Structures are given as structure tokens and as C-alpha cells.
Amino acid sequence: MSIQEFLQHVANGTSLGSLYALIAIGYTLVYGILRLINFAHGDIFMLGAYITYYGIIYTPIPWWLVFILACVLTGLVGLTLEKLAYKPLRGQPRITILISAIGASFLLQNLGVLLFSGRPKAFPTPAILSRTLIIGGVSVSLISIIIPIVTIIILAILSFIIQKTKTGMAMRALSKDYEAASLMGIDINGVISFTFFIGSFLAAVGGIMWGIKYPQLIPLMGVMPGLKCFIAAVIGGIGNITGAVIGGFILGLGEIMLIAFLPSLTGYRDAFAFILLILILLIKPTGLMGEKIAEKV
């Protein structure tokens, strides 16, 4: 393998990892506060991509504005999902809420089939974004460079919100101690809605960039990325944003490198994430950055 090829793989892995990271953040935010695997998160990601598709094809709105509107709209869908599927079950056993989440995931997938049809659609990438650059003999698509940059910017904004704003403080309080936070007069419903909005917003950002990078939309496109990004969040330590980003990169780079160095294992690409998940759960169930929670007797 030449140096160029290797760099090519690194670039691919980095951009895939950034995408995983973006989606994983949504999982981690929700899990941090509700201790819930939002199974439908991958399908929210799918919705984000489809909403963008329809916005660009069927409206005269310029593409960059469609991107923003689609993210906001998807954020609102996520927020509504929480109100309909999870809020009525607050205080129920975790398994009950998890089942509702699985139901919601299937509902969105099949709504996707119903509304968008099962046939693949080609993502209408704006010409500006589909360019390819050649840097030091390595040809890199522009989007592969944009993705990590967008991820870093979003991460910075998110850290600011969580560390410096009042809502962010409420989010942190809620994830540390739900009971205490509710007693302290924190607007729990507001914070949870905000969390779902942000998580779904980021999923839509991921969905759009995914569409540009892999321009084929199908209603089930969210299933595998959804599962993998949950895995990324677990690897990093669920509930921890930095962990989700690290997990995303480990998974993205790992997958690309596995195929690059051991092409005979290409068929096992999707198994890689699951094997990694099971290993991490057995060795360090709290993930790389997670804290240990002691059980109370």
C-alpha cells in the first residue's frame, strides 16, 4: 500500500468517523438524560435526508437554506416523537420505554416506505459540494473535508451550550441526578424537548452529509448507521459527548482500515461494529470515557 493510498483511507475513515460522531452525539445526549436508547434515532437521520431531498427537488428555496430548514424540521420531528412515544411512559420500567422506541423506529421506517416509496432516490447534491480536490497526490472529495470541519464546529457550539448556558447547565444537572434536578425546579420537559431537538437536528446534519457522500436514499438507510452510531456512543462511554466523538472516529477509521488492510474481510464489515461493541461491553461496560455507577442496596 502506497502512502497515497493510505492517506486516502485515512481521509475516508475520518469523514465517515465524523458522520458517525454527529449521529452518536444524539444518542448520547438522550441517553445521558433519560437513560433511554432512542432506537428511532437512525430513522430520524433518514428523515433528515429525505426532507432535504424533497426541499431541494420540489421547492425553489436555495439549497443552503433547505439544509438549515430541514435540520430544524427534523429537530421538531424528534421533539414530537419524544412527546408522543416516550413522555407518556416516563417512570415506567426501562424495557417498556425501549419497546416503545423500537416501535417508533419501525413506525418511521414504514412511514418512510409509505411516503417516500421503497425505491432508492438519488440525493440532489449541489454542484459546488460535489467537487473533488487533489491534495498532495491524494484525490479527496470536497465533502470529505467539509464533514470533519462541520463536526468540529458543531462540537464546539455544543460544548459551549452545555458548559456556558443555563439550558446546558440544566441538561448537565438532569443527567447527573434526575430526581434532584426535578426537585430544584428545573423545567424537565423543556430540557428534554431541547435535548431531543438538538439530537435530531444533528442527526439531520449527519443525514444531509451522508446523502452527499453516499447519494442514494432508501427508507431503511438509517438502520445500520443508527445501530453503529449507538455502538460508537457506547464505545466512547454513553452519556459523554467527547466519548461519542471518539467512539465515532474509532468506528469509522476502524471500519475503513479493516477493509483496506484485510480486503478478504469486506463481507464482515458490518459485523466489525458489533464485535467491537460486545468486546467493549465485556471489558469496560462503561465505555472509554464513562463513569462507573454503583448499585444501591
Partner 1 sequence: MKNNNLLKNIIIIILALALLFILNITLDSYKVRIVNLCSIYIILGLSMNLINGFTGLFSLGHAGFMALGAYTVALLTMSPQAKEVNFYMEPILPFLKDLNMPFVLALIMGGLMAALFGFLIGAPVLKLTDDYLAIATLGFSEIIRIIIINLQPITNGALGLKGIPPKNNAFFAAMLGQTPKINLLWAGVIAIITIVFMNLLMKGSYGKALKAIREDEIAARSMGINLFRHKVMSFTISSFMAGVGGGLLAISLGTIDPTLFKFSLTWNILLIVVIGGMGSIKGTIISAIIVTIGMEALRFLDESINLGFMQTPALPGLRMVVFSIILMMAVIFKKDNIFKSTLKKARGRYAKD
End-to-end CA distance of the chain: 56
Tell me: does residue 64 bind partner 1 (CB under 8 A).
no
Tell me: does residue 161 bind partner 1 (CB under 8 A).
no
Residue 183 in grid coordinates: 426537585
Tell me: does residue 259 bind partner 1 (CB under 8 A).
no
Among residues 60, 179, 267, 292, the one that binds partner 1 under rule CB under 8 A: 267
Neighbours of 110 (CB within 10 A): 14
Shortest Å, Cβ 294 to partner 1 = 13
Q: Which residues have CB under 8 Å from 210's CB, separation 6+?
A: 19, 45, 49, 221, 225
Burial 135-163 (b: 16+ CB within 10 A, else e): eeebebbebbebbbebbeebbeebeebbe
Residue 192 · residue 237 · CB < 8 Å? no
Strands 132-135 and 121-122: unpaired
Shortest Å, Cβ 238 to partner 1 = 9
Shortest Å, Cβ 17 to partner 1 = 20
Length of the chain as a residue count: 297
Listed in order, strand segments (DSSP E) in the chain are 121-122, 132-135, 138-141, 216-217
Tell me: does residue 262 bind partner 1 (CB under 8 A).
no
Tell me: does residue 62 bind partner 1 (CB under 8 A).
no
Tell me: does residue 157 bind partner 1 (CB under 8 A).
no
Task: Pick the piece of the chain touching partner 1 (CB under 8 A) from 62-70, 121-129, 161-169, 223-231.
Answer: 223-231
Per-residue x/- marks for partner 1, 14-53, CB under 8 A? ---------------------xxx----------------
Nearer to partner 1, 212 or 290 (CB): 290
Residues that bind partner 1 (rule: CB under 8 A) add up to a total of 45
- Give the rounded distance of the alpha carbon of 56 from its chain centre: 22
Residues 100-119 that bind partner 1 (CB under 8 A): 100, 102-104, 106-107, 109-114, 117-118
Q: Using CA atoms, how far apart are residues 240 and 173, in angstroms rounded to an integer?
A: 14
Strand partners, 122: 216
Tell me: does residue 96 bind partner 1 (CB under 8 A).
yes
Q: Using CA atoms, how far apart are residues 85 and 166, in angstroms rounded to an integer?
A: 27
Tell me: does residue 284 bind partner 1 (CB under 8 A).
no
Residue 89's alpha-carbon distances to 82, 96, 230, in angstroms, are 10, 8, 22
Query: By three-state DSSP, how is residue 121 classified?
Result: strand
Shortest Å, Cβ 266 to partner 1 = 9
Shortest Å, Cβ 228 to partner 1 = 10
Tell me: does residue 120 bind partner 1 (CB under 8 A).
no
Shortest Å, Cβ 100 to partner 1 = 5
- Positions that interact with partner 1 (CB under 8 A): 35-37, 85, 88-89, 92, 94-96, 98-100, 102-104, 106-107, 109-114, 117-118, 219, 223, 227, 230-231, 234, 267-268, 270-271, 274-275, 277-278, 281-282, 285, 295, 297
